[in-house]
């Protein structure tokens, strides 16, 4: 029996793409991962920033933890490697 294609999990990866960035690419990466318009993600992040202030820490967490599409590494992993080399 064939499985419908809409039920098969996609192999999309959560990453910050190089193209389409305004700042660090977090909104574009989330939009691609969730398959929604990037404007919607940006508006949600801005609204969360002004209502309760959650948008800023969420964006910063995404910037630190989401890998860059070009390098495949997150900013946090680069910081950890830099700290290890400094010892």
Task: Read off the pLDDT of residues 5-63 as tens digits, 9 standing for 90 and up.
Answer: 454 445 578 999 988 888 899 999 999 999 999 999 999 999 999 998 999 999 999 99
Asked whether residue 1 is assigned to any structural domain, the reply reads no
Asked whether residue 6 is assigned to any structural domain, the reply reads no
Task: Provide the 10 A C-beta neighbour count for residue 2.
Answer: 4
Asked whether residue 5 is assigned to any structural domain, the reply reads no
Nearest to 39 by CA among 28, 51, 25: 28
pLDDT of the residue at 1: 46
Asked whether residue 9 is assigned to any structural domain, the reply reads no
Asked whether residue 8 is assigned to any structural domain, the reply reads no
Asked whether residue 3 is assigned to any structural domain, the reply reads no
Asked whether residue 28 is assigned to any structural domain, the reply reads yes
**Cβ proximity of 17 and 28 under 8 Å:** yes
CA-to-CA distance for 62 and 56, rounded, in angstroms? 10
Mean pLDDT (whole number) for 56-77: 93
Number of domains the chain contains: 1
Domain that holds residue 66: 14-86
pLDDT of the residue at 11: 54
């Amino acid at each position: 029996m064939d499985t419908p294609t809409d039920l098969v999990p996609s192999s999309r990866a959560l990453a910050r793409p190089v193209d389409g960035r305004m700042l660090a690419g977090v909104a574009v990466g989330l939009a691609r991962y969730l398959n929604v318009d990037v404007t919607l993600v940006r508006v949600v992040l801005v609204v969360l920033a002004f209502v309760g202030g959650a948008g800023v820490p969420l964006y910063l967490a995404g910037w630190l933890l989401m890998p860059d599409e070009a390098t495949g590494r997150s900013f946090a992993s680069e910081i950890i490697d830099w700290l290890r080399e400094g010892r």
